[in-house]
Amino acid sequence: RWRAVVFFEVEILDAKTKDKLCFLDKVEPNATIGEIKSMFHKSHPQWYPARQSIRLDPKGKSLKDEDVLQHLPVGTTATFYFRDLGAQISWVTVFLTEYTGPLVIYLMFYFRVPFIYAPKYDFTTSKHWVVHLACMCHSFHYVKRLLETLFVHRFSHGTMPLRNIFKNCTYYWGFAAWMAYYINHPLYTPPMYGEQQIRLALIIFLFCQIGNFSIHIALRNLRPPGSKTRKIPYPTKNPFTWIFLLVSCPNYTYELGSWLGFTLMTQCLPVAFFTLVGFIQMTVWAKGKHRSYLKEFRDYPPLRSPILPFIL
């Protein structure tokens, strides 16, 4: 039987000033927030969809692009509030930029290009084999990150604010230069316990790099291409993923292990400091993700901790 479609009227106000920015007539009830953003973009070309935060309340949370108009707590005349998120940049571009920097910067110190150390050391090489091993491990780590960005990661958010790239690059590039300066310094002294310490550190580093990659593959397989669906991650047949039994974000656990291994290998204070700062940041992210898992999934495994089994 034929049924009349009830169209919606949508008005979009500025979240700060409450000025009316846009009025949309005859909007389909099954229109998504993503589609409303596209309509809004037509009348305000300077605000492309990725820049827009559309919300029900001026100080409320941003609505998701996939939210459907008729399922939202609004009448047939819906009022939304708009906030400008500022210039946006794709996550892929951010990751490629922040990971290429450390790779190149570290190699400049390793090859001792001019103006870093005294002129007599230009393009000389270290007599300590651990320096060459450290360079291989550091390069491997960032090449792995770049390849994962291109071929493994699926991003739930396409973009991030442009200003973040400067903050992120300062962090990664700055620490890479600080670490590389000391590890590749002509006066660098190898670890206290020599070969045994270096070999143990290398085993820890490689084990955690494989673990980190295994978790990234497991997380990728949870999300079909082009979707934003979220599921509870569980261990797979790969033994490196069994840590999911105890931890919500084992990719961060393995990342921490990799840098602890690198710290042990180089016995270098800037590396230890980078590891500490990274651990603090990853703990914040892991706790946030853990909270969102608990909120979203009622049957979420109760035994799991955010980043360190039974501790944190």
- Same structural domain for residues 179 and 246? yes
Domain boundary among 69, 84, 99: 84
Asked whether residue 28 is domain-assigned, the answer is: no
Per-residue pLDDT band for 108 (boundaries 50, 70, 90) equals very high
Domain containing residue 274: 89-293
Report the distance separating Cα 83 and Cα 85, nearest Å. Answer: 6
The two structure tokens encoding residue 243: 């840590």
Per-residue pLDDT band for 280 (boundaries 50, 70, 90) equals very high
Asked whether residue 207 is domain-assigned, the answer is: yes
- Same structural domain for residues 276 and 200? yes
Where is average pLDDT lowest: 62-66, 100-104, 156-160, 277-281?
156-160
Q: How far is CA 57 from CA 12, 16, 83, 105, 156, in A?
A: 11, 11, 11, 46, 23
Asked whether residue 1 is domain-assigned, the answer is: no
Q: How far is CA 68 from CA 28, 32, 227, in A?
A: 10, 4, 16
Per-residue pLDDT band for 54 (boundaries 50, 70, 90) equals confident
- Same structural domain for residues 147 and 193? yes
- Same structural domain for residues 65 and 200? no
Number of compact structural domains in the chain: 2
The two structure tokens encoding residue 83: 């906030």
- Same structural domain for residues 211 and 272? yes
Asked whether residue 303 is domain-assigned, the answer is: no
- Same structural domain for residues 14 and 131? no
Asked whether residue 219 is domain-assigned, the answer is: yes
Domain boundary among 84, 100, 129: 84
- Same structural domain for residues 173 and 254? yes
Q: What is the CATH number of the domain that holds 67?
A: 3.10.20.90
Q: What is the pTM of this model?
A: 0.83
Per-residue pLDDT band for 51 (boundaries 50, 70, 90) equals confident
Mean pLDDT along residues 133-161: 90
Q: Which of 130, 152, 127, 305 is nearest to 205 (CA)?
A: 130
Asked whether residue 302 is domain-assigned, the answer is: no
- 126 torsion bin: left (phi>0), alpha (psi -120 to 50), beta (else): beta
Asked whether residue 98 is domain-assigned, the answer is: yes
- Same structural domain for residues 112 and 189? yes
DSSP-derived letter for residue 58 is T
pLDDT digits (tens, 9 = 90+) for 160-195: 888 889 999 999 999 999 999 999 999 999 998 889
- Same structural domain for residues 200 and 80? no
- Same structural domain for residues 99 and 79? no
- Same structural domain for residues 77 and 160? no
Asked whether residue 110 is domain-assigned, the answer is: yes
Per-residue pLDDT band for 231 (boundaries 50, 70, 90) equals confident
DSSP-derived letter for residue 248 is S
Report the distance separating Cα 212 and Cα 253, nearest Å. Answer: 8
- Same structural domain for residues 266 and 145? yes
Write out the DSSP string of 62-113. PPPTT-BGGGSS--SEEEEEEEE--SEEEHHHHHHHHHHHHHHHHHHHHTT-
